[in-house]
Amino acid sequence: MNSGQNASSHPKSSPNLDLQDRNTFGFDASAELAYEITATDQISGIMQEIAEKQLTWRVLGGGSNVILPKVLPGATLLMNITGQQIITADASSTLIAVGGGVNWHEFVAWTLENDLPGLENLALIPGTVGAAPIQNIGAYGVEIGEYIDSVEAFDSKSHAFVTLTKDACQFAYRDSYFKKNPHHYIVTKVVFKIPKLWHARIHYADLAKQFSKNSSPSSEDVFLAVCKIRTHKLPDPKVIGNAGSFFQNPIVPNEQYETLLQKHPGLVSYPDAAGKRKLAAGWLIDQCGFKGRRMGDVGVYEKQALVLVNHGNGTAEDILGLAKCIQDKVRKEFGVSLDIEPNIL
C-alpha cells in the first residue's frame, strides 16, 4: 500500500479552516488550526509542533459521526491517508491493508469487486476506514471488529508507530479502546482479515424481509439490499444534514425486557451476544411521538426516528437540546437510558 512515504514530512497547517463540508450534519464550524495528513511520515513532526505549542488536538476523518461546535480549538488533524492492497492470502482468509483516510463505503464496494465478501452488511455507512475501529461500526447483525486483524497507529505517548492486535483494540458494542482513550492513538492503517468461507447474514428483520423468497442470496445481492434499505430509511447528508443513527440501541437485562414487553407488546428487540436484549431505540423514540418533529432548525427524520437532522442553520447546541428532550421522554416512558452515538467534540 502506498502510504505516501515520499511526501514531505514538514507539517503544513491552515488557520481557521472551514469544516462545514467535513461534518455530515453540515454545521457551520471551523478549525482554529488544521493539519492535513496524507502520509504517515508527517505525523511525528505535526505532533511535535502540537506539543511545543501546547495545543489540544483531535483527529477528524469524514466527519460523519461527530457533533462540531462553532470553533474547534487547538489543532485538528484531517486524516487523508489513502491506498488499499491485499497483503497475504491463504486457504482460510485474506489480509487487506487499508489507509485510514479511505472512504468506508468505497472500500466495501472494492472488496466485493475483488471477490472478498464479508463486509456487505456494512455498505453505505458514511465515514472513513480509520474511524471504523474507533466506533466499532456495525449494521444488520455485523460489527467491523469481527473482521479486523490489527490496527496501525501513532502512539502519542511514546511518539512512535505501533501495531495493535484485535484483542488490544477492546472491541465492544459501538465501542473500543480508541473511543475510550481518544488522545492516545492516531489510527493510520487498518488490516482486515476476510474469511474465505462466506455465508449470507440476513437474520436482521429488514434483510430477512428483503430475502423472504431467496434464502441463499449472493454477497452482491446483500450489498444492494443494504444500500436500498439504508437509502430508503436514512437521509442523504448532502440533502439534509445528519450523522446517521444518533442513539445506540440500549441493551437491557432479560428481566427488564420481559417487564417492558408486558406493558408494550409491540416492543421491538433483538437477542444480544451476551444473552441480554437489544432494544430498537428508533421504536422507543417513535412511541414517544418524536418522529418527524421539528424544533427550530433541527428535528427528527420523518422516515426513521433514530436519525436527528439539521434543516439548515442548526447548531451543536440545538441538536444536543433536542437529544436531551428525547432522552428524558424515553427514560420517563420506558425507564431506559439512550446513549448518544456521535462523538461530541
Catalytic one of 174, 201, 293, 333 = 174
Catalytic one of 36, 146, 333, 341 = 341
Alpha-carbon dihedral 257, 262, 268, 269, rounded to 10 degrees:
20
Cell of 235: 437521509
51 neighbors 303 (Cβ within 8 angstroms):
no
- How far apart, in whole angstroms, are the C-alpha atoms of residue 252 and residue 122? 24
Catalytic one of 230, 245, 269, 277 = 245
> Known catalytic residue: 331?
no
Amino acid 307 reads V
Q: Give the closest residue to 342 by CA, choosing from 125, 149, 186.
A: 125
> Known catalytic residue: 113?
no
> Known catalytic residue: 92?
no
Q: How far is CA 51 from the centre of its chain?
A: 28
Q: Give the closest residue to 342 by CA, choosing from 28, 69, 90.
A: 69
Q: Which long-range CB contacts under 8 A does 252-260 form with residues at least 24 apart?
A: 252/276, 252/277, 252/279, 252/336, 253/277, 256/335, 260/334, 260/335, 260/336
Amino acid 236 reads D
284 neighbors 330 (Cβ within 8 angstroms):
yes
| CA triple 21-25-28, angle to 5 deg | 60
Query: How crowded is residue 268: how many other Cβ atoms within 10 Å of its Cβ?
Result: 16
Alpha-carbon dihedral 48, 50, 54, 58, rounded to 10 degrees:
-130
The partner residues of 150 in beta bridges, in order of sequence, read 165, 191
Catalytic (active-site) positions? 174, 245, 341
